[in-house]
């Protein structure tokens, strides 16, 4: 069979012309659809789902004792608040340190007693409608420079805050690693990664 034998029987010049026209129209339509698909703006992804949650008051009552890093009272208060907020605590956390009182030369100490309170989100509606907020599960990470005010020398503080953090916050898939070595610092000595319940930004 030669190539002409592959032409359907009964197809003359008119039939071939019609077939060629149909093919050309199909190509034009296909090209137009493809161009539309390329030119159409990407549909934004659906917003992360929210769920009802409420704020729960959490007391702070623990002591810091470090071999490597010394803090002023103001310094350790600020550091603890930074860590709590990174995990989703409300912005009005109160932390008071003692035993490391600042003097005229910004006295620092390897010891501190920390007291105070903060509010953390827990799943579920509150007792009243005003107590309920819409929250999202968001990825969080605490490591050297995350947040940027957390340094390599904060390993011992993060290690000693673990009971407070695990008790206070609703965390999913938490991976809490500390490998603190006395009198030594390393950017890889601690890492806290989890999904934390947070109020979306702008809410």
pLDDT tens digits, one per residue of 156-180: 999 999 999 999 999 999 999 999 9
Residue 16 to residue 38: CA distance in whole angstroms: 33
* Tokens linked to 15: 């039939």
Cα dihedral across residues 74, 142, 159, 135: positive or negative = positive
* Residue 201: band (very low, low, confident or very high) from pLDDT cuts 50, 70, 90: confident
More confident residue, 101 or 141: 141
19-52, pLDDT tens digit by residue?
444 444 444 444 444 444 334 444 444 557 999 9
Percent of the chain with pLDDT over 70: 73
Closest-CA residue to 62 (of 182, 170, 159): 159
Residues 6 or more apart from 136 whose CB is under 8 A from it? Answer: 48, 49, 50, 51, 197, 198, 199, 200
Predicted structure pTM score: 0.74
């Amino acid at each position: 069979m030669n190539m002409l034998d592959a032409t359907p029987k009964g197809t003359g010049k008119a039939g071939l012309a019609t077939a060629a026209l149909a093919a050309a129209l199909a190509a034009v339509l296909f090209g137009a659809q493809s161009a539309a698909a390329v030119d159409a703006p990407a549909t934004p992804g659906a917003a992360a789902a929210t769920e009802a949650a409420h704020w729960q008051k959490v007391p702070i009552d623990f002591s810091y004792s470090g071999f490597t890093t010394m803090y002023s009272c103001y310094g350790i208060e600020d550091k603890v608040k930074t860590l709590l907020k990174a995990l989703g605590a409300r912005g009005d956390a109160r932390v008071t340190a003692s035993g490391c009182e600042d003097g005229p030369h910004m006295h620092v100490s390897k010891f501190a007693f920390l007291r105070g309170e903060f509010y953390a989100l827990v799943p579920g509606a509150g007792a009243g409608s005003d107590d309920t907020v819409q929250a999202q599960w968001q990825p969080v990470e605490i490591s050297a420079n995350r947040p940027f005010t957390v340094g390599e020398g904060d390993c011992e503080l993060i290690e000693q805050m673990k009971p407070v953090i695990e008790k206070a916050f609703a965390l999913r898939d938490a991976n809490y690693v500390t490998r603190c070595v006395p009198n030594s610092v390393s950017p890889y000595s601690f890492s806290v990664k989890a999904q934390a319940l947070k109020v979306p930004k702008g809410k």
